[in-house]
Structure 1
């Protein structure tokens, strides 16, 4: 974990509920209403958390601000932490899915490089590359709240485990799959952390995105080449 208030490789990819079904299809009316309610709760919670701090806001206050019942909040989000970070759960298997669905002849590193570069190019909020002030506010909330940092760390571990499972199923070697997954997810986390640090510092979005793409390419190249010639002590 990073120190309180510092950017960390364990920072989450935070985004508002996006109104689409998990498989990418446009949802029906009932699903749209559910997602609109979830988004309203999320936005109300973020505003309260930013104004007063995560620990000083109750679920009842979130419900009142979103004009829903306390039970409705718990129906959509199991805990107060889920209200803020629940949208992350929609993306916990993204890396594993990219590797599982890659084209024949494409390596796991290539698949994840392509996925990450696509997210950066799209200025995707899940990478922290949104020009919305709320994205930066949420990132700061997480880095300044220990319980949220712990939750974000658990998210990244599960994402790594999903990826390791896919690699182990393909290769038959669970131990090396864990090693590879740790390195590949480590690249993503390092890029995310640098983006979050610079966005929180107010650096221009397009410059951060350009530098993030370069960092992603260099980091994946390092992983692919291995560490045999890296940091050899003189």
Structure 2
């Protein structure tokens, strides 16, 4: 990263941190873009050069994970099924306390999750990220090589249904982890149960509903 890009990244991070701190203190709807620009000592036009919308001041953190399920499937080891790769990736996220799995009890992370999911405008944008992830995962689940005559014909609807089920399971697991942490459990104490629940959920995906 060159000096100019480094300076831009530092400004980007600083403005976002200021905005999130203000949102956590006063609420998302009670803080204007003008308030943030003034606190960051930049103009509104400059702020909008870094962030296209007010919601992006918060949700760029989710953008880091955009398309991740599809990338996991594309990068899986030879002979590994997509579902196995996604399960392994989710369990690894639990072990390293990745906030996206819900298993992170750092106070700032818990407050950030509460901000996002209690603010309608932010929750709606998260749903848009999830919809795009679902579409990209469905595409990744389809065969990329010509289908032999003896193999099943590629099934776009089946891929979409599978993608929706897989990502819904991950969302439910993450929200349950977050709910239990918010109720007072620690990540360290919850981790074994969270891993067991994830393994059970992926088993249910493989075997279908009883």
> TM-score normalised to the size of structure 1?
0.80
Q: Is the 8 A contact 1:128 1:135 kept in 2?
A: no
Is the contact made by 2:138 and 2:159 (CA closer than 8 Å) also made in structure 1? yes
Displacement of 1:66: 2.4
Q: What residue number does 1:51 align with?
A: 25
Name the one with the larger helix percent.
Answer: 2
Report the Cα offset of residue 127 of structure 1: 2.5
Q: Quick one: higher RCO (CA 8 Å, sep 6+), 1 or 2?
A: 1
141-150 vs 97-106, which deviates more? 141-150
Aligned to 1:83: 57
- Displacement after TM superposition at 1:187 (Å): 1.6
Q: Shift of residue 102 of structure 1?
A: 0.6
User: What is the alpha-carbon distance in structure 1 between the residues aligned to residue 190 and residue 6 of structure 2?
Assistant: 33
Q: Which residue of 2 aligns with 1:194?
A: 176
Equivalent residue number for residue 159 of structure 1: 133
Q: Which residue of 2 aligns with 1:110?
A: 84
Gap change, CA 1:188 and 1:83, over 3 Å in 2: same
Q: Which whole-Å CA distance do the structure 1 matches of 2:41 and 2:25 have between them?
A: 18
How far the C-alpha of 1:28 sits from its partner, in A, is 4.8
CA displacement, residues 84-103 of structure 1 (integer Å, 9 cap, x when unaligned): 11221121111000001111
Residue matched to 2:207: 225
Question: How far is 1:175 from its partner?
Answer: 0.8
How many pairs align? Answer: 202
Q: Distance in 1 between matches of 2:50 and 2:192?
A: 37
* CA RMSD of superposed structures (Å): 1.7
Contact 2:103 2:174 (8 Å CA) reproduced: no
What's the counterpart of residue 34 of structure 1?
Answer: 8
Whole-angstrom distance in 1 between the partners of 2:122 and 2:197: 26
Higher-Rg structure is: 2
TM-score by length of 2: 0.89
Shift of 1:131: 4.0
- Which ranges of structure 1 fall in alignment gaps of 5 or more residues? 1-26
Unmatched segments (≥5 aa) in structure 2: 145-152
